[in-house]
Amino acid sequence: MIDVSEYRSLPSSPGVYRFYDKDKVLIYVGKARNIRSRVASYFAKNIDSPKTKQLVDLVCFIDYVVAFSEEDAFLLENNLIKENRPKYNILLKDAKAYPYIVITKEEYPRLLVTERKMGKGEFSFGPFSEYNFVDNIVSIVKDVFHVRTCNHMLTSENIKKKKYKVCLKYHIGQCSGICEGLVSQDEYSHECGNAIDFLKGHIMKVKRVLRSKMNSAAKDMNYKLAQKYKEQVEAIDAYRSHSIVTNTKDFNVDVFYCEYDDTAFYVCYMIVKNGKIIFEKSFVEEIV
């Protein structure tokens, strides 16, 4: 934690910054592509928002956490705001919700996107910082595994009664037509299992399939389709390196990291609750 007058010493890295009042009470959490530049903007003379000006007048101390990427900063900010509910995040309405990709627990599971983690038995993946990224991943799951996205109450009995008809997604290759029984329940369950494995990170097989389709489309001079497969491969690579800031497994752990040199000891302490970083504190102890 540093005195507010020393904000120019902050790093120019992506991450999260935290503002504290004179009593060292956390009053605001923010994210940034460049921590130093973003914090410096608060202390410019031309602040128009009265609420922001009021916030800045109260800031006495600043703390920060450097993230690996801007996406990690988004997600860490989200975790810290929801857990700590700083006063000015609520006033400035910065507590944004982030999307999850979910495969439901039903007789015939479906794929959906939601802003909340689902209940027991559902497979939730995320949260993610951008809907565009989520759309690309969902497109891959539909194109490759044909998991349904409709809201039909699909049961074996309703399929036997021919209650539903295939929709456009079947005709464009994004659904297997399970609503009309065009594939067996075992086949559909197998593809849903493959989709879950893919979302868990077991993705090399899918990349090989997509690259093969991309090369075939390019040979046929269908460059638009080849570009679509190329973008999906890139989305998979991005998904594979998805943030370590949050994890869908519900585990609780305290993390300590220590390092030292000739002048000081450096200690970082984090609390992970339900798979999310909710608290971080760094200490420096000079060697006398």
Predicted confidence (pLDDT) per residue in 48-59, tens digit? 778 888 888 999
Is 227 part of any domain? Answer: no
What residues of the chain score a pLDDT lower than 70? 1, 91-97, 117-119, 129, 238-251, 273-278, 288
Q: What is the pLDDT of residue 180?
A: 92
Is 10 part of any domain? Answer: yes
Identify whether residues 158 and 177 lie together within a single domain.
yes
Is 216 part of any domain? Answer: no
Helix or strand or coil: residue 166?
coil
Q: What is the DSSP letter of 161?
A: T
Identify whether residues 177 and 150 lie together within a single domain.
yes
| Cross-strand pairs, 73 | none
The C-alpha atoms of residue 260 and residue 151 are separated, in whole angstroms, by 57
Task: From 172, 202, 232, give the residue that closes a domain.
Answer: 202
The C-alpha atoms of residue 252 and residue 95 are separated, in whole angstroms, by 23
Domain count, the chain: 3
Task: From 96, 115, 135, give the residue that closes a domain.
Answer: 96
Structure tokens, 126: 């995320």
Q: What is the pLDDT of residue 243?
A: 46
The C-alpha atoms of residue 131 and residue 87 are separated, in whole angstroms, by 27
Task: From 56, 71, 96, give the residue that closes a domain.
Answer: 96
Identify whether residues 80 and 118 lie together within a single domain.
no
Is 235 part of any domain? Answer: no
Domain enclosing residue 89, as ranges:
1-96
Is 241 part of any domain? Answer: no
Identify whether residues 187 and 120 lie together within a single domain.
yes
The CATH number for 13's domain is 3.40.1440.10
Minimal CA–CA distance to 281: which of 40, 84, 70, 60? 84
Q: What is the pLDDT of residue 147?
A: 93
pTM: 0.55
Structure tokens, 219: 């040979």
